[in-house]
């Protein structure tokens, strides 16, 4: 499972021209699921996202989590995070999980993040053509692959 986490001052997702979800200060997370991902990846990654200390404290040092600053989370599914570009110029998405696996994993990640954060999060819609907007605060962008956690 790969997550691209961006600290934002605001973010939103539109589907068919209508805002599906929007947040203020918090994290916009792009999530890619692969076939080999499981419940342990969701548990570990949801805790990591919510507790990642990338918000400034009173001294301007990145020392607070989204939980500590009362921030929000917008979670967007993005299978293209598993693109392989080793051969040729057309990316291969063979490692990305098929919808029958990816959708339940995405839904479980939503629940895990809401549990960890203690409130509802904003989401996109799996498989939809989404228009995601954000103001990256910092900019701060962190990439986490659960396969590299050990």
- Pairwise CA distance, residues 89 & 33, whole Å: 22
| Contact in structure between 73 and 113 (CB atoms under 8 Å) | yes
Query: CA dihedral defined by 75, 97, 80, 95, rounded to 10 degrees?
Result: 140
How many C-beta atoms lie closer than 10 Å to residue 17's C-beta?
Answer: 6
Q: Which of 80, 115, 141, 146 is catalytic?
A: 80
Has 123 been annotated as catalytic? no
How many C-beta atoms lie closer than 10 Å to residue 78's C-beta?
Answer: 21
Q: Which residues are catalytic?
A: 80
């Amino acid at each position: 499972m790969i997550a691209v986490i961006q600290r934002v001052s605001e973010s939103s997702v539109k589907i068919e021209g209508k805002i599906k979800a929007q947040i203020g200060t918090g994290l916009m997370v792009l999530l890619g699921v692969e076939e080999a991902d499981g419940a342990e990846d969701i548990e570990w990654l949801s805790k990591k996202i919510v507790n990642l200390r990338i918000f400034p404290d009173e001294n301007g040092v990145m020392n607070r989590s989204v939980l500590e600053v009362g921030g929000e989370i917008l979670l967007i599914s993005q299978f293209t995070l598993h693109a392989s570009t080793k051969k040729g110029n057309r990316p291969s998405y063979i490692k990305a999980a098929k919808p029958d696996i990816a959708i339940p994993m995405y839904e479980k990640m939503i629940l895990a993040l809401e549990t960890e954060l203690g409130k509802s999060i904003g989401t996109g819609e799996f498989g939809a053509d989404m228009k995601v907007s954000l103001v990256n605060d910092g900019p701060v962008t962190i990439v986490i692959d659960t396969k590299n956690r050990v």
